[in-house]
Chain A
């Protein structure tokens, strides 16, 4: 059962009032440290991510975009508020339950250190399924492999792949388990522009063709322009958003925020 957002945020309502959401956060607050040393990374963020959409999270350094993503993905605990992935409220889950949630329903693409050096590309792609003890859907596997164009690289170790290829393997790995949402943390941060473009195109492709939900943190307006929607954070608060962004509108919004 997919739960509807009972009280969509003001921002979400501007897109649609009746859309299915893969991830919903309400009143999300994250405070690091205590007393004088307390850092308010998130100060009550309400945000929803529509199923089958590609959303980018942007904001200047220290705006809380990575923290937001970690909290949404169940990698980090929240101080206050709630996060719902699919129909599961995750802020009260145990470590074991969170692990199972990540295993079954969430995919990740990181900036670096994405692959296990001891495994081949194929083994890396199949790893989440292996961990979950599930069989790969061979049709899906073939489709993913062909989409990322890695068929001739499957038996290679990560050290024998280029940065772009490694990142495509990482994306393929995230896709193979058909998660409800994929979180991508600066997926192009370590890549040259051509490889970066490849990976972004591929991410958008998987949203369009496979109906995948993707949430991507980035500081690159060009990368953000591949998304359907961009939300902007500043000082731990969601301050703006763009639908159907272009590099120019993203840049303009950022400049306005910095001002």
Chain B
């Protein structure tokens, strides 16, 4: 029996390979995920271990959640550490935001550059790639990427703002590599001597002190000695402990990446399982006579079952092996790609193939393949020996069984119920989304079970046009698509999964885009926003707004101010208080109450704050102000947090100044005068903002495009990752079609004998594949739109639902094309077959 199976496999190498390919791709993706993340983790570990080798002991302040500012290690503690016997050297490390000015005189980037201290001697961990370390107080080094994008070269003078906003000029003496530090890679970094860094950042102490032991000293003993010298407020670790800790932290980050990639890997594997199930089902159906012959000459049912399973095991092992190789390639390719993109991941580590990866790849490949082959194998055992003697294979007929109908109904009802529960869940948010996802999964299973029943009507529906468009080949194709609904269903549903998810994502992004854009339009009708690069705690001098009002290009200026204050009866909790700018262009919407009656003595609250305080419109709150004591304010309106830029507690402008003094602006919104060209207005606004280097001018179009770029990026990443599942399902269509073509050799020959030309035969098969693709896409699009809508209902604000017709149409067209593409080879083979041979073979 074993020999028969293996001989059969050898005889059909191509079929074996095609079948394996689906699993190979899935396993390859999963293995590739592990190879990539393992390699990254090994790289991090190597980097941290190398760094830690320079350090005997590291000291960090203990986390204090109560403290206002992050705790630091004061200079005198450093002095005490230096005096501990056995300490050869101790260096304090610190960092903080110091905006680097670009060549245009404005702060570079949207976030301030981070200043870091560069210690001297053996404890230094900064890798200078060209030039020198900073040695004099006027020396600075830049990270390579910032230097490149801001066009600074060694020898240039760079200007950096200190913590008070004053300009400091430095000579750029070297460039360094931020390595695996994602924060520094994101903000950009400038390195100073420790003293200069302290002066620039205004830091009161150090974030970390690194200690080098004297030669031959024991790190553990040194750690205890240092700990004893500085007291209990600090965490003291050996270098290797520090390395372990950093590696563990980075592993947590890598594990998110692993999880996300694995999710897509599992989707791909599910699709592959459908493809395998279908393939084995068809193979069994086609080999009915072979099975019957084996049964005739004495093979037991168990042996038949075993032979099919054995075949699946061979396929599984082959494809898992190939998948591992593919995974290695994918992992290595992804690493090379990350390197090329200068991503903050460690490069240079050898590609890591762990036993875990190998075992997982083989186990997943085996379980999915053999699991998918179980049902077909059982079907094979039901072949009666007498079937060997029948000359013509019975046409399979399909009737919707009662069990199928009941089961499908149950799943569909459960899916609908759970989804509705998710939509109507109180508060919405993440939990509701998970409930809806579960509902979607249940519903999809229902569709999966029901699909053979709906396949025929769908094929007739979708086939209406091809029937009329493609003449005889068209109608024959529609008939063929309808003839085996079970097979057609499994084939198309594999594609449906990919299309559903793609549609879902595109609906979500389109809806988010439309909703946010509408909110921006309605609540935030400004052309430019000026904000502080150094963050919400920094202020823009009011002079800027005043200067803007003088500009002939500027129509209106809105100033937003912020202060913190406590409420009577709410303990020590501090609330953000903001002004309500008086401007006709500013018209936020109230959830309850109205801004029309917003006069001195009244207040507007964000919905959440009103709820947590247990107040509603008409009630009062007592605000403790800095200059006017505690004042009682009547609530005039509540509003949605996301609908405007207002502070949680908003009071009229005049009162804000009276209560908190004339504070500088937190943000300034500018509208160009009507009729002024956008580029003219922009130049005018920027010229006025030029004296304030950290005042960032952003246009609402820029905000929008930044935000749309992010959405597009998400759509592309998801599309790319789902592409694998879609590719596998297209393979499935090709596989099903080529097996069907093989099955219908006689029919094709008959049609050719009756006068069907080769192109017509090819067209017939292409149209059949086109139909399969379109049906799969139609189901997927329907599910995607419905569940995309459901998912968006969990958002806590009103949405503008959008199903992007262009993208959805594109999915439909691409699915049809994918089907036609899948039909290319099978159709070619069918049309090339000799009529005489095809008629003669049985």
Whether chain B is bound by chain A comes out as yes
B753 near A118 with CB under 8 A, answer no
Q: Is the CB of A70 within 8 A of B471?
A: no
Q: List 27 A-B contacts (CB under 8 A).
A: A75-B753, A75-B835, A75-B836, A76-B834, A95-B757, A99-B757, A100-B757, A102-B753, A102-B754, A103-B754, A103-B755, A110-B750, A112-B392, A112-B842, A113-B749, A115-B750, A116-B747, A127-B754, A128-B755, A130-B471, A131-B472, A131-B751, A131-B755, A131-B760, A132-B755, A133-B472, A173-B754
Inter-chain contacts of A103 with B (CB < 8 A): 754-756
B834 (CB) vs chain A CBs: closest residue: A76
* B391, A131: Cβ atoms closer than 8 Å: no
**B204 to nearest A CB, angstroms?**
85
Q: In whole angstroms, what is the CA distance A104 to B756 when docked?
A: 11
B395 within 8 A of A: yes
How extensive is the interface on chain A, given as a class?
20 to 34
Min Cβ gap B395→A in Å is: 5
Which one of B471, B755, B842 contacts A100 once the chains associate, using CB atoms below 8 Å? B755
Task: Please give the distance in Å from A64's CB to the nearest CB on chain B.
Answer: 13
On chain A, the residues within 8 Å of B391 by CB distance are: 112, 190
Q: State whether the Cβ of A61 lies closer than 8 Å to any Cβ in chain B.
A: no
Q: Judge if B480 is at the interface, Cβ distance under 8 Å.
A: yes
Interface residues of A (CB under 8 A from B): 70, 73, 75-76, 95-96, 99-100, 102-104, 108, 110, 112-119, 127-128, 130-133, 159, 173, 185, 190
Contact B757 A113 (CB under 8 A): no
CB <8 Å contact, B476 and A118: yes
Contact in complex: B836, A131 (CB < 8 Å): no
Residues of B within 8 A of A75 (CB): 753, 835-836, 839
How far, in whole Å, are A247 and B603 apart by their CA atoms in the complex? 114
- Chain B residues close to A by CB (< 8 Å): 391-392, 394-395, 397, 471-472, 476, 479-480, 482-483, 746-747, 749-758, 760, 834-836, 839, 842
B549 to chain A, nearest CB (A): 79
Chain B residue contacts of A114, Cβ below 8 A: 750
Q: Smallest distance from the beta carbon of A39 to chain B beta carbons, Å?
A: 14
Chain B residues near A112 (CB, 8 Å)? 391-392, 842
How far is B755's CA from A131's CA once the two chains are assembled, in angstroms? 7
A67's nearest neighbour on chain B, judged by CB, is B836
Residue on A with the closest CB to B479?
Answer: A118
Contact between B747 and A96, CB atoms less than 8 A apart: no
**Interface class of chain B by DSSP:** helix
The docked-state distance in angstroms from the alpha carbon of A58 to that of B752 is: 26
What separation, in Å, do the CA atoms of A128 and B757 have in the docked complex?
12
10 smallest CB-CB distances across A and B, nearest first, come from A103-B755, A118-B479, A113-B746, A117-B395, A99-B757, A130-B472, A102-B755, A76-B836, A131-B472, A75-B835
Determine whether the beta carbon of B758 is less than 8 Å from that of A99.
yes
Q: In the assembled complex, which residues on chain A have CB atoms less than 8 Å from the CB atom of B839?
A: 75, 110, 113, 185
> How far, in whole Å, are A79 and B755 apart by their CA atoms in the complex?
23
Q: B395, A99: Cβ atoms under 8 Å?
A: no
Q: Find the A residue at minimum CB distance from B840.
A: A66
Q: Which of A70, A117, A159 contacts B836 (CB 8 A)?
A: A70
Q: Are A95 and B758 in contact, CB atoms less than 8 angstroms apart?
A: yes
User: Which interface residue of A73, A75, A114, A119 has the most chain B CB atoms within 10 A?
Assistant: A75
Min distance, Cβ A169 to any Cβ of chain B, angstroms: 13
Min CB distance B279 to A, Å, is 22
Return chain A residues, CB-CB under 8 Å to B754.
102-103, 108, 127-128, 131, 173
Interface centre among A96, A118, A132 (most CB of B within 10 A): A118
Please tell me if the beta carbons of B756 and A131 are within 8 angstroms of each other in the complex. Answer: yes
Minimum CB–CB distance for A219 against chain B, Å: 15
Give the distance to chain A from B796, nearest Cβ to Cβ, in Å. Answer: 54
Contact A127 B483 (CB under 8 A): no
Whether the Cβ atoms of A113 and B747 lie closer than 8 Å is yes
Q: How far is the CA of A110 from the CA of B835 in the complex (A)?
A: 12
Residues of the B chain whose Cβ atoms lie less than 8 Å from the Cβ of A102: 753-755
**A128 to B758 Cα, complex, angstroms:** 15
Contacts of A116 in B (CB 8 A): 476, 479, 747, 750-751
Note all chain B residues with C-beta closer than 8 A to A118. 476, 479-480, 482-483
Q: How far is the CB of B368 from chain A (nearest CB, A)?
A: 33
Q: Across the interface, do B835 and A119 meet the contact criterion of CB distance under 8 Å?
A: no
CB closest residue in chain B, given A128 = B754
